[in-house]
Structure 1
Amino acid sequence: MRKLVFFFGLIINNCALAQSNYAVNNDGSNDYVSLPTSVAVSQLNTFTVEAWVYWNGTGNGCIYSETVQGNNSPMFSIIPRSTNGGGIELVLRDNSATGLVMQPATATVTANTWVHVAVVRTSASNIKTYINGVLKDNATFTAPASWTPTKVNAGVRWRASQSDFFAGKIDELRIWNTARSAAEIVANMFNKNLANNATGLVAYYRFNEGSSTTAANSCTNTSGADGTLTNGPTWAASPIQFAGNALHFDEGNDRVIAPLPTTATSNVTMEAWVYHQGGTGTDHLIMVNGVMGSNGYALFLNTSHKLIVLFNGVNTWNTGIGLSTGQWTHLALVIGTTGFTLYKNGVNVYSNTGTPNTPSANFILGFNTVANGQPFGGMIDEVRIWNTARTQTEIQNNMNSEIAPSTSGLALYYTFNQGIAAGNNTGLTALIDQSGNGNNGTLTNFALSGSTSNNLTQNSNLVILPLRWISFITTKQYNNVLLQWSTAQEHNTKDFLVQHSIDSRSWTNVATNAATGNSSSINNYSYLHTAPLQGMNYYRIVQRDVDGRFGYSVINSVKFNTNREGVQVMNNLIASGILLVKITASIATPVSLHSGNGNLLWRRQLAPGIHSIDVSRYANGIYLLKTGEQIEKIIVQ
């Protein structure tokens, strides 16, 4: 009962928050938002204009435009057209009509659905379009001559006359003087920690006023840039916000359908957090990569709540491992080259042999579309599909927190951190793939309102990263290792701990780097490790917040010389009780002595040079000296 009360409290709280999140709603007749010409960017060689839109599908609806009043030729406009099924008419041309005209572009705005649209000019003669963070167009054109916009608007194109009024809602309109990357677009799509003074931000209209005729510019880089609601646009509730959510499936016909993230049949991992509510009348599909009846691999629960692994639609393994109802459980299915392993909360609970055939069609959560059944009831969160066989250590290190979307091998990543928990999320059916691979899911048959079949507050023990990892690389530089990492969206970030290990299990702090603290720009950091060891060196970065929260980067490794010239045993046959070892490597080298049956006797770090080691206390027999991958046999007499 205590858990139910806690959830109810969360739901009420988030419903209250929903009332402060708005969009501007245009009637398609004469409504629009007038913006000052000081925010115009069309004459720059690099810019980005992005917004969330909910278009009702009628007519030609101008999302954003820069024009010259009284002149039909020079213009920059973004207009989904009903005659092209929502295909965007994208125009950037000068007074002689030289430039870009795409009618329609590949980019399409689906009617009666929340869609994120981004237009990015990367150079004088190149423009890209993105829909929900996925690249749709990459167009090259003749650069137009310069001209001066006299009208900048959201919701209308004003040339010789006003036309193409937008019918629907517009939210989170941002204008940049930089070419935003796909990763940056996805990272900021739901306004996670986007600073008002972000580098390159010219204007930012959150549209959260909820009343009045003023659309405030939140960007502090530009003053006097508020917009004006003209001819009576209204304010409407909007679900476009960042929130720590999971997705609830109603055990009816809810499902998420996505493109196939991988066709791998080995060295692949599927993992997720699941909260099963306990239905018993049927099997319950958690996820499938491929077609349930014929190919790929799936994980589901049978009517006894036991976890089942399915390959090729016919080969099943009843693991006998139960899934408790009413609590969060982490599951990871790792498929290797000859078999598979199932991990439950990071523990190896079942292994077997078997190889799936090549997946096709789709990746699906929560419903067997082939059998038209086996619906999942409960919540799913933190879905990750990998093109690698994740190790148990990797699973354990990363299961309790979000991870960097740039992590190597990540093919699909759903955090579900979008929308209003138990609120009105109607039309927000795109589930954004944070990996940047464009494998967005589509929420199908969800109510998207209320406390079921909707976004709900996620597991409170799951750590939401307070920043976004852009990259982390390690490079060997002579006898040193250079660590370089980049972040974005830092919020109350305190510092970074650089950690080193020789086995990827036991870690040592080697440095602390101060963080920028609060920033939505990309921040670059580096550290030079001057004391790497012989053999394999593992590195990770621990990011710490001022409130005590922390998160990990991916683990990188650098290998130093482990050939036989690194460590040389000068007397394999020891009669004097003294072992002579020469370290020929130029750096300190970990060396360990083991008994003939492998028991560890001691481990030391030996500097370059010759070392005399007393082994007189050991009984006569065979011993093993190990360093990295090198093993030397010695005999004590």
Structure 2
Amino acid sequence: MRKLVINFLCFSLILMCFNRVTFAGEPNIGNGKSFDGTEQINFTNLSVNTAAGAKNTVEFWMYWNGINGQMPFSWSTGYDLYFSSNYFGFNTSEGNVLGISANELKGTWVHVTAIFSNGVPDSTNNELYINGIKQNISQVVKTTTRSKTVSSTGYISGYGDKYKFNGKLAHLRIWNRALSSEEIQASMQKNFLSGDEVGLVGSWDLTEEPQASKNFDGTKQIQLTGLKVNVASGAKNTVQFWMYWDGTEKVMPFSWSGGYDLYFVGNAFGFNTGESNVYGISSVDLKNKWVNVAAVFYNGVPDSFNAELYINGLKQTLSPLVGTTTASKSAKPQAYISGYGEKYKFKGKLANLQIWDRGLSQSEIQSNMYRSVFTNIETGLVGSWKLLEEPQVYKSFDGVTQFELTDIPVNTLQGAKNTVEFWMYWDGTNGQMPFSWATGYNLYFTSGYFGFNTLEGNVLGISASELKGTWVHVAAVFYNGVPDSTNNELYLNGVKQEISQVVKTTTLNRAVSSSAYVSGRGDKYKLNGKISQVRIWNKALTENEIQSNMYRTLSVEQTDGLIGVWNIEDDLINSNSGTVQYVYDSAGRINYITYLLD
């Protein structure tokens, strides 16, 4: 077997060699978001590269209605993309366009990618792609003389109060580097991003409703723990999410553990402090539709000055609609998505929830409405939860494909514990291992059972009958020693399972190792199914931690005990002629690739 080490600088080229790119005529997310010449979305705190000579990339899908004098995107510095005199391209607030004819852009969906160079724009440093094809840009309107740079603030539709867009826009993504032509062609076809892509500043779906959501039937609940919120008296925290409410009264889409929540009762919706009260708004117009909710929780007695509620980015006028509000309440490190304790569980759908340790401004709330990826570096972001029924980004396994993980800083001490978690779709075939350590300690399907295996033809686990043909979240606590039902733990969808010796006996002393496999062990036992988001911890997670983190976006550098995140997906190298080995940096991002050729 030959080993080929591919440096990360070559990653985009290698990525595209194995990508299967097809070109569509419009975005695969419905009709996008409509703009009528008055609407605008502001973006703030963008972690772009503002250094002289640096480059940043902006990409989006666009349907333009043909009216000139419009800007689909602009930076606050007066550096933008502009339609003027039937031309389209870069503008520097000089009435100018460095670009192309716009004749072929009218009345059709096109994918636009613009590489903004910090300096005086020219046809060498600035690049414009339409439907993944690089355009030959030139000075088509007036002259370009001003040096411009990108900024941490930007606009979708217009610049300030002018030049607002008429048409539709979808799938905006901003990168703090120049994408290659291969990366651009791949990105335009990808509906979903994992969030750990190199250089990704942010991704905004720009749709009228979320692309994916989680159903709540009045019995489901997600408990959140270890939230680093601001609990100081007088401080504020913001909770933002998409909500589809079915009209059922006496339900709570979100609550803090101290009895401070958002409550539907008596045709009202708003803040509740455990006093059978609502300080808020009428709920009549919220029923059976998607709305974006942002609630600024004030640590104190909620009132119309300190507490804030936004619906679809618009600040609401609050009033005491049900009961009286007298109790002083605060955000807590523990919270619930759906209900409070065992009561008031939500009926409807929820999606894309974020918690912030500060009060967001209206412009920040409007920006976050359409944002699909948070990179864990946003100021004040406590956490982001995708809330969906099944993963959007995953890797398909065909009984041959395998990923080898190396240099994992696990705890190998005798008696220590490590946790492995991932989303899994199993096709029902026995004799398969979705995950295994190099030491022969693994998770195994055999004889209709699933659980821990030590290469003794054994399973310490559960019946696999309910796992076939469905997505489940698996969390396995591996004990370094002889596995047993006390020290080893198995969780499915956040619920601890009663494991037992269901196949043969377990006698061998096993431990985790710095190398592992996703799908099989060595050349055997490879999976038929799908795997998404593998995460490894050097400690045993609790049931509350597993439930809290199932839908949460996590980074290695900001999470205690989390030592690896692998967002494997079909759009990465897809070849069965060898083994792909990914080497990751401390943040779980691909550093370089080792490809083992047969």
Verify same fold: TM over 0.5: no
Q: Which has the higher contact order (CA 8 A, sep 6+)?
A: 2
Q: TM-score, normalised by structure 1?
A: 0.33
Name the one with the larger strand percent. Answer: 1
